[in-house]
Amino acid sequence: MTRLMKHRLFWPLFALVALIVINTVARPQFIKVTVRDGELYGALIDILRNSAPLMLVALGMTLVIATRGIDLSVGAVMAVSGAVTLTIIDGSSSPGSTGTVLIAILAGIGVSLVLGLWNGFLVAVLDIQPIIATLVLMLAGRGVALLITDGFITTVNSEPLNFVATGYLFALPFAMFIWLAAVAAIAVIERRTALGVLTEAVGINPEASRLAGVRSRGIILGAYVASGTLAGIAGIIYSSNIRAADANAAGDLIELYAILAVVLGGTSLMGGKFSIAGTVVGVLIIQTLDSTILFLGVSSAQSPVFFAIVVVIVVLIQSPRVHQWGRTLTSGIRRSEAPEVRSDAEVTA
Amino acid sequence: MSTHLHADTEPLVEMRGITIQFPGVLALDHVDFTLRAGEVHSIMGENGAGKSTLIKALTGVYSVDSGTICVAGEERVFGSTADAQAAGISTVYQEVNLCPNLSVGENVMLGHEPRSLRGIDWRATHREAARYLSDLGVHLDTHTLLSSHSIAVQQLVAISRAMVLDSRVLILDEPTSSLDRDEVEQLFSVVRDLRAKGVAIIFISHFLEQVYDISDRITVLRNGQLVGEYLAQDLPRSDLVTKMIGKVLEELDDIATSAERTIDRTAAPLLRASGIGKRGVLSPADIDVYDGEVVGIAGLLGSGRTELVRLIYGADRPDVGQFELRGEPAKLASPRHSIDRRIAFSSENRREEGIIADLTVGENIVLGIQARRGWLRKMRSAEHDAVVAEYIAALGVRPADPNRLAGTLSGGNQQKVLLARWLATAPELIILDEPTRGIDVGAKADIQRKVAELSSQGLSVIFISSELEEVLRLAQRVVVMRDRRQIGVLDSNDVDVDGLIDYMANQGDDPMTGQDDGQADAPAGAQSEGSVA
Amino acid sequence: MSTTTTAAAAPRARAAAYTRTFLDRHSSMMPTFAALIIFVALLIGAEVHFGNFLTPLNMSALLLNYAYLLILAVGMTFVIVTGGIDLSVGSVMAFTGISCAKLLGEGYSAAVVIPVILLGGAAIGLLIGVLVQYFDVQPFIASLAGLFLARGLAFVVSLSSIRVENESVLWLQTTRWRLGDWYITPTGILALSVAAIGAFVMQYTRFGRTVYAVGGNEQSARLMGLNVARTKVLVYVISGVCGGLAGLVLTAYSGAGYPRNGIGTELDVIAAVVIGGTLLTGGTGYVLGSVIGVLVFGTINTIIAYQGAEQSWTRIIIGLMLLMFIVVQRVIVVRSERRR
């Protein structure tokens, strides 16, 4: 049992299950899934569907945070990719054709990839602090999106585009498959190759990694490219959902929710060890919490208060000082277990 | 140079029976230290001897587990540096702990600026600062930014600040390590002035010449224990070095030595570095290593031994010098270059530059191979497990659990993991900087045995250690370093430990003119180049 | 020939020496000077282009429209100079603004309401400061929690905008003290006073100098015996109070409290502060520089409005300027590292 509790996913999963249980007790229809026209509906299905944009952004953020970085520009990138995609569809002669939509989507993703590359260049090559480097795009990105849409909210009615966010495949929301595919792809790339462990090495100890011959520059650049690209896909899903490119509202505050999801999933903001599964659970917690707050009759606008409390609790749990308090409390019990460290205390001094 | 010791005066600082325990390590074990007004007192010792722990106890950074500290006859307990400063104890650190973004005058006066009703009186602040600086013979525009001045000037600014705080005790922690000769002279004349004014000065430096130049008294520490307190004029250099290093024999005697092995030096050397140096870091030095040879580097901490190997590996970039690999000119500008040419480097700073603490033992071991292969070609897990198991067994890593986090291992086992990482990459030359420091005797013997074994199989090794026994037992040739320059190359069969200590302490001693060319100072007989044993 | 050159060279050499001394002494002010030059160039450029830009009315309006931004920028300067960042300012402004409107609407007098909302801002600042200093939370994350909290609380106070009818609060905005065509409102005076007090505190008090010392090298500041902990908490409290004041000013300006006010304002503030010459890495910056940064920001906005161009250009131009300043700062840092 204690080994189970020590598993890094234990607490995130516990929180998620607890939320679902509380919701179910409060309103039994919460876990009810109904079948209509061979498609599944229900609160849980909604959560899985609505998670898509945040899930994609949080995945990219996980990789960036693992390298000791942060990407503030994800919301702005979402706005740009949505704007690019919808403007192309809007301007084409056949907005309803699948080919047009595919080209538009690829264009949107391509632009996002370039934006990610730009962030990576500033951080990995010019060595600018990640917060500052990505702040530039965070500021300018929405301006660019507004320019692309001429300052209007571009609305588009295109069947293939709508399908992205609201369509169904095998009785389940198509958007869910998108994020499942992204999770699978990232997991394979990170864990089936050595990229994951090299990324962690760079995040944990950049200098030791350099001396060990790890090409940290490329790894950091890659993380930002991934983050940009995933944010771009998220932007297209968002636009597809509201059937419009809204440069101001798209991805508003999403960088903050994404960071929260990553931290909830047990990845430290100090970089290093990361958990893709943890981030997935973190996103689901946030979506479920959001749905809970709505159910409680709290306006969605007020929900940030709850998230603020969650952020504070999570950072306090991660704080060294709180750990120290915990250790002082338990030190009487297991003094003998003191780790064998600092044999070379002088060295660091 | 008659020292004017006030031996009869009351001690200004008396530390008695100071004991400080870190988890797993007794950093200071009942150490006594006495400091008198108007003396310069050096504290000497190798890494891990407890110098900086003792200083930090005196400046309130660490609290003592037992023992007493009396300042001017009054017992004190320091909870913070501010407490110690209030008691008149100030420290000037090597890295100069001032604020580079503020003006010189402000750094001198920060927190003590004269104020009027209209806030800080800047004119008076700069006037005061200029006065304190000129008391030390420093005349400069106090409005200029601190960062626009050399480290030497910054150190003088830090000393002025100590005077503003009305310090009776001034601790100079490695103040000279980045100063040139003239700057050291300027600093020393300031120190002598202060001594004449009755300030007690603790001086810490790795430069033996400077220690003898300025000190009245020397206290030697070793392994957290007091070796003794001596008058500088009564302590010959070689005695000092012996006291610092001590004799480490005991269980290690039975290890097979590799020093007598014959090295074939007819072919071009595996690596030849000629005249590599870096301004302010290392005077140009030469080193060559043949196949299957162990070249030792002897020198105290700060002698330039680490700097030399970092330049060879490309961890830092040299300003001057050439490399040749098997006779071909080569470029070793970064760790990647070196690794591609099968050169490996294990840093003395295990924790910061070696181990990736939050990765497992297995991941740490294969990191070198993996970095070489690139991220796309991940080792298959069977291969991974085989390599990890092989090296855990070969080096005797304890516990032999590949899934344990490397940071939780003891120092000796972390060192074995690092060695494993590099050996797994099948290097032709491995540079080991203090691989046996701070680890237990068993692990030490394991590592020595491994080095002897591998070199007999043809691996070339550059081996740095503070323990000269170890160097002489493993290496066929020894490069001797002192004060950031190379002072000679010895055949290890021609010297014993005492001879080496004497050489390290006295050879090539030419304090005023000894410029960049270390080789020139070495006596011809000491050159073992070509003297095939 | 040679004599004439030396004769001519002497004063030139002296001038060069003087310039060098000046540069040595004031190199940290260079970015602020650059901002000032940009500001003047913008004004001249706009005047040449439009012909009717540099009018007293326009210039007075600049201060009127951006008084809230100016106040926030002063608080942010304190935080950034210590090497921190405060993302919560826009939300704190919204929260205090809507609270102000709500409390006034319930009949409390301004004399009660104003201290209460300033305390509200201070409390959120205190929370952030304590998280940063005592729990080692990165300023970015701690102030992020503050952002969420204040934004949510703003909506808890009211979901929609609340009109303000309180005379004394509206007076802050409606009063125009005139000098010819120039005018200034009490909010403008308030903003300028905040800037003046901020500049004084930063330059002429030991607390202010400790702020710089912490930003220059926190470890050193501690070893120099300065009270680092108190300083680091206080800068966030100051920023919170400035958020409260900005809430008051914005409420007076728009005659209403609105919980959606100030979304993204934290970015505008950070951009203005950085353009004004404050280094995001801490240790260097001036309150007066931030004032110039805000004026540059406001001028660009005004020019774009004049031009009839997309408002979106503002953000792109500000983003590009930010980039330029960041890259230049980075180059300066790299060069000074190399010199050692």
Contact A272 B410 (CB under 8 A): no
Determine the distance in angstroms separating the CA of C219 from the nearest CA of chain B, rounded to an integer: 7
Apex CA A134: angle with CA A130 and CA A140, to 5°?
A: 160
Task: Give the neighbours of chain B: at least 3 Cβ pairs within 8 Å.
Answer: A, C
Selected residues 125-184 of chain A with any CB under 8 Å from a CB in chain C: 126-129, 131-133, 135-147, 150-151
Which whole-number Å values give the CA distances from B96 to A290, B109, B137, B155, in the listed order?
Answer: 51, 15, 19, 6
Average pLDDT over residues C81-94: 93
Percent helix, strand and coil across chain B, each to the nearest 5:
35, 25, 40
Burial B273-289 (b: 16+ CB within 10 A, else e): beebbbeebbbbbbbbb
Q: Which chain A residues contact residue B350 at CB under 8 A?
A: 344, 347
Quick check: A8 and A19 in contact, CB under 8 A? no
- A165 part of a folded domain: yes
What does the angle CA A199 – CA A204 – CA A206 come to, to the nearest 5 degrees?
Answer: 80
Residue A234: inside a domain, yes or no? yes
CA distance C2 to chain B (A): 33
Averaged pLDDT for residues B227-235: 87
A302 falls within a domain = no
Distance in Å from the first CA to the final CA of chain B:
45
Q: Which segment of B244-248, B436-440, B446-450, B484-488 scores lowest on mean pLDDT?
A: B244-248
Chains B & C: contacts with CB separation below 8 Å:
80
Question: What pLDDT, in 10s, does the model give residues C280-291?
Answer: 888 888 999 999
- By the CB < 8 Å criterion, does C135 face chain A? yes
Cβ-contact C164, C170 below 8 angstroms:
yes
Q: What is the pLDDT of residues C1-31, one digit of tens each?
A: 444 445 555 666 667 766 666 666 666 677 7
Q: Which of A194, A204, A343 sits opposite B378 (nearest CB)?
A: A194
Q: Minimal CA–CA distance to B349: which of B310, B296, B389?
A: B310
What pLDDT band is residue C181 in, cutting at 50, 70 and 90?
confident
Q: Which residues, numbered 170 to 209 in chain C, qualify as contacts with chain B under a Cβ-Cβ cut-off of 8 Å?
A: 200, 203-206, 209
Residues on chain C touching B165 (C-beta within 8 angstroms): 225
> Given a contact as 3+ CB pairs under 8 Å, which chains touch C?
A, B
Residues of C in contact with A308 (CB under 8 A): 145-149, 152
**Chain C residue at shortest CA distance from A70:** C140
Would the CB atoms of B101 and C340 count as touching at under 8 Å? no
Instruction: Characterize the bridge pairing of strands A39-41 and A154-155.
Output: unpaired
C251 close to C121: Cβ distance less than 8 angstroms: no
Nearest C-alpha neighbor of A75 from the set A16, A143, A23: A143
Contact B331/C at CB under 8 A: no
Tell whether A26 is covered by a domain.
no
Chain A within 8 Å of C337 (Cβ-Cβ)? no
Q: Where are the domains of chain B?
A: 11-245, 250-342+428-533, 352-426
Structural contact between residues B290 and B269, judged by C-beta atoms closer than 8 angstroms: yes
Q: Are B111 and C214 in contact (CB under 8 A)?
A: no
The answer, for C335 touching chain B at a CB cutoff of 8 Å, is no
CATH number of the domain at B250-342+428-533, out of 3.10.105.10, 3.40.50.1580, 3.20.20.70, 3.40.50.300? 3.40.50.300
Same fold, B11-245 and B250-342+428-533: yes
- Structure tokens, C319: 């983003």
**Shortest CB distance from A344 goes to which of B339, B367, B437?**
B437
A163 pLDDT exceeds 80? no
Q: Which amino acid is at A334?
A: R
Q: What is the pLDDT of residues B359-390, one digit of tens each?
A: 888 888 888 888 888 777 777 888 888 888 88
Q: Are B24 and A212 within 8 A, CB to CB? A: no
Residue A151's domain comprises 50-252+266-271
Alpha-carbon gap, residue C306 to C299, rounded angstroms:
10
Residue C27 to residue B145, Cβ atoms within 8 A = yes
Q: Write b or e for each residue in C215-225: b if 16 or more Cβ atoms lie within 10 A of its Cβ, otherwise e.
A: bbbbebbbbbb
A residues 183-242 lying closer than 8 A (beta carbon) to C: none
Contacts of B22 in chain A (CB under 8 A): 342, 345
CB contact under 8 A, A343 and B25: yes
Which tens digit of pLDDT belongs to each residue from A95-145? 777 788 888 889 999 999 999 999 999 888 888 888 888 888 888 888 888
Percent of chain B with pLDDT over 70: 88
3-state secondary structure chain A: CHHHHHCCCHHHHHHHHHHHHHHHHHCHHHHCCEEECCEEECHHHHHHHHCHHHHHHHHHHHHHHHCCCCCCCHHHHHHHHHHHHHHHHHHCCCCCCHHHHHHHHHHHHHHHHHHHHHHHHHHHHCCCCHHHHHHHHHHHHHHHHHHHCCCCCEECCCHHHHHHHHCEECCEEHHHHHHHHHHHHHHHHHHHCCHHHHHHHHHHCHHHHHHCCCCHHHHHHHHHHHHHHHHHHHHHHHHHHHCEECCCCCCCCHHHHHHHHHHHCCCCCCCCCCCHHHHHHHHHHHHHHHHHHHHCCCCHHHCHHHHHHHHHHHHHHHCHHHHHHHHHHHHCCCHHHCCCCCCCHHHHC
Please check whether residue A321 touches C, CB under 8 A.
yes
How many Cβ atoms from other residues are within 10 Å of residue C35's Cβ?
Answer: 27
The whole-angstrom separation of Cα B10 and Cα B7 is 8
Question: Residue B15 pairs with which residues in a beta bridge?
Answer: B33, B69
For residue B528, name the pLDDT band (cuts at 50, 70, 90).
very low
Question: What was the pLDDT predicted at A90?
Answer: 82
Q: How many domains does chain A have?
A: 1
Give the pLDDT confidence of A274-331 residue by residue, as tens digits.
Answer: 888 889 998 998 888 888 887 777 777 778 888 888 778 877 876 777 777 777 766 5
Contact C82, C216 (CB under 8 A): no
**pLDDT tens-digit series, residues C102-121:** 998 888 888 899 999 999 99
Task: Write down the pLDDT at residue B526.
Answer: 40
Q: Is B91 on the interface with C (CB under 8 A)?
A: yes
pLDDT of residue C115: 94
Which residue, among B305, B294, B264, B215, has the nearest Cα to B476 in the 3D structure? Answer: B294
- Among the partner residues A308, A319, A321, nearest to C149 by beta-carbon distance: A308
* pLDDT value for C340: 46
Output the average pLDDT for chain A: 81
Mean pLDDT taken over chain C: 85
Judge: A302–C156 Cβ closer than 8 Å, yes or no.
yes
The pLDDT score that the predictor gives to residue C200 is 94
Q: Identify which of C85, C134, C314 has the shortest CB distance to residue A143.
A: C314
C340 to chain B: nearest residue by CA? B150
Query: pTM above 0.90?
Result: no
How far does the CA of residue C156 sit from the closest CA of chain A (Å)? 6
All chains having 3 or more CB pairs closer than 8 angstroms to chain A? B, C
Residue A226's pLDDT band (cuts 50, 70, 90): very high
Give whichever of A54-63, A309-318, B183-192, B225-234 has the largest mean pLDDT: A54-63
Q: How confident is the model at residue A340 (pLDDT cuts 50, 70, 90)?
A: very low
Which residues of chain C make contact with B144, given a CB cutoff of 8 A?
A: 24-25
Among C243, C287, C244, smallest CA distance to C266 is for C243
What are B134-167's pLDDT values in tens digits? 888 888 888 888 888 877 888 888 888 888 888 8
Task: Write down the pLDDT at residue A155.
Answer: 77
- Start-to-end Cα distance in chain C: 41
Which amino acid is it at B381? Answer: S
The percent of residues above 90 in pLDDT, for chain C, comes to 37
Q: Count H helices, E strands: chain B?
A: 18, 22
Cα separation, B228 vs A91, in Å, equals 88
Residue A17 pLDDT more than 90? no
Thinking of the domain B11-245, which architecture would CATH place it in?
3-Layer(aba) Sandwich (3.40)
Q: Is the pLDDT of residue C99 over 90?
A: yes
B87 touches chain C (CB under 8 A): no
- Residues from chain C contacting residue A70 (CB–CB below 8 Å): 140
Closest Cβ–Cβ partner in C134, C151, C310 for A147: C310
The shortest CB-CB distance from B110 to any of C25, C209, C222 is to C209
Q: What is the pLDDT of residue B9?
A: 65
Q: What is the pLDDT of residues B411-457, one digit of tens each?
A: 778 888 888 888 888 888 999 988 877 666 667 777 888 888 888 88
**Any domain includes A211:** yes
- B101 and C28: CB-CB below 8 Å? yes
Which uninterrupted H or E stretch holds B488?
strand B485-491
**Interface test with chain A among C153, C323, C328, by most A beta carbons within 10 Å:** C323
Set of chain B residues whose Cβ sits within 8 Å of the Cβ of C336: 147
Q: What domains does chain C contain, in order, with CATH numbers?
A: 29-332 (1.10.3470)
Query: Which of A136, A141, A319 is nearest residue C326 as measured by Cβ atoms?
Result: A136
Q: Across the A/B interface, how many CB contacts are shorter than 8 Å?
A: 128
Yes or no: say if A154 and A87 are a contact pair by the CB < 8 Å rule: yes
- Whether A337 has a pLDDT exceeding 60, the answer reads no
Question: In chain C, which among 220-239 make CB contacts under 8 A with chain A?
Answer: none
Q: Is residue A236 assigned to a domain?
A: yes
Please report whether residue A17 resides in a domain: no
